[in-house]
């Protein structure tokens, strides 16, 4: 690891960093995998994080690979884990999943089989992390989020419960934890949610920058570093 002042940069020379999730990660990435650079990883936080990393740490020659898929839940991740994670042979893996696991409880109330109950969510997420951890240098677990400042909102309450599960799994497995919801909450103290998103789920460019910075902060990115 590289130490600069009090910061420890977790990513090292030529690390392959695979990022998996749902539509918030997908962002129209290329198929079958979205290699970052020139839009290959879509138009969201993955490309933004890559731009930061390449501009500040060009000597590391990092490779970010986006395997997010729109509409997916943790149940779907389980089904494609071998091809989209294990076969990609990552050095680092970031996981941000849970939005659809919760959302289907609210927008498809007549189809409860589409939602993922919190106990299944926790069990499946931890199973995937435990299975993969011996194969990688580290795993970053990012909470799902709801871009809504009213914490009593029913969907916000449920999303916070799933976020607490991510924190617990991260603690039990020794994974890096990113409180993505908290990162949005800091911005929501000064901005109305509609300035960040049209549906309180899919962020615009500013929202994706919030996610990218939360991820970079967690891995020890030095904003003062010059190439």
Catalytic residue among 15, 23, 91, 208: 23
Return the pLDDT at 5: 46
Q: Considering its fold, how many domains does the chain have in total?
A: 1
Q: Indicate whether 6 belongs to any domain.
A: no
Q: Indicate whether 83 belongs to any domain.
A: yes
Q: Indicate whether 208 belongs to any domain.
A: yes
Q: Indicate whether 183 belongs to any domain.
A: yes
**Residue 197 contacts by C-beta under 8 Å, 6 or more apart in sequence?**
147, 203, 204, 207
Catalytic residue among 28, 43, 199, 217: 199
Catalytic residue among 26, 72, 91, 202: 202
- Output the domain CATH number for residue 159: 3.40.50.1110
Q: Indicate whether 225 belongs to any domain.
A: no
**Which residue from 135, 209, 143 is spatially nearest to 176, judged by alpha carbons?**
143
For residue 83, the enclosing domain spans 11-217
DSSP 3-state assignment of 170?
helix
Our answer to whether residue 202 is catalytic in this structure is yes
Q: Indicate whether 40 belongs to any domain.
A: yes
For residue range 122-139, list pLDDT tens digits in order.
999 999 999 999 999 999
- The DSSP code sequence of 172-214 is HHT-EEE-HHHHHHHHHTTS-GGGTBSSSSSB-HHHHHHHHHH
Q: Indicate whether 204 belongs to any domain.
A: yes
Q: Indicate whether 17 belongs to any domain.
A: yes
What integer is the mean pLDDT of 52-76?
98
For residue range 66-105, list pLDDT tens digits in order.
999 999 999 999 999 999 999 999 999 999 999 999 999 9
Q: pLDDT band at residue 7, thresholds of 50, 70 and 90?
A: confident
Give the HSE-up count for residue 167: Cα atoms under 13 Å, Cβ half-sphere: 11
Our answer to whether residue 23 is catalytic in this structure is yes
Our answer to whether residue 199 is catalytic in this structure is yes
What is the residue whose two structure tokens read 């779907």?
76
């Amino acid at each position: 690891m590289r130490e600069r002042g009090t910061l420890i940069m977790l990513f090292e020379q030529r690390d392959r960093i695979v990022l998996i999730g749902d539509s918030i990660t997908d962002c129209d990435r290329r198929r079958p995998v979205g290699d970052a650079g020139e839009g290959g990883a879509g138009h969201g936080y993955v490309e933004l994080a890559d731009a930061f990393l390449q501009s500040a740490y060009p000597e590391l020659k990092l490779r970010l690979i986006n395997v997010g898929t729109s509409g997916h839940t943790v149940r779907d991740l389980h089904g494609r884990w071998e091809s989209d994670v294990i076969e990609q042979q990552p050095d680092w893996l970031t996981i941000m999943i849970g939005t659809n696991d919760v959302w289907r409880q609210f927008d498809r109330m007549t189809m409860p089989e589409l939602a993922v109950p919190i106990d299944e969510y926790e069990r499946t997420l931890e199973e995937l992390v435990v299975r993969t951890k011996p194969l990688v240098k580290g795993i970053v677990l990012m909470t799902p989020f709801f871009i809504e400042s009213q914490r009593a909102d029913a969907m916000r309450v449920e999303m916070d419960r799933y976020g607490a599960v991510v924190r617990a799994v991260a603690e039990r497995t020794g994974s890096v934890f990113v409180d993505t919801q908290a990162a949005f909450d800091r911005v929501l103290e000064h901005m109305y949610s509609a300035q960040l998103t049209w549906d309180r789920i899919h962020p615009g460019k500013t929202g994706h920058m919030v996610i990218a910075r939360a991820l970079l902060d967690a891995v020890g990115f030095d904003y003062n570093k010059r190439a």
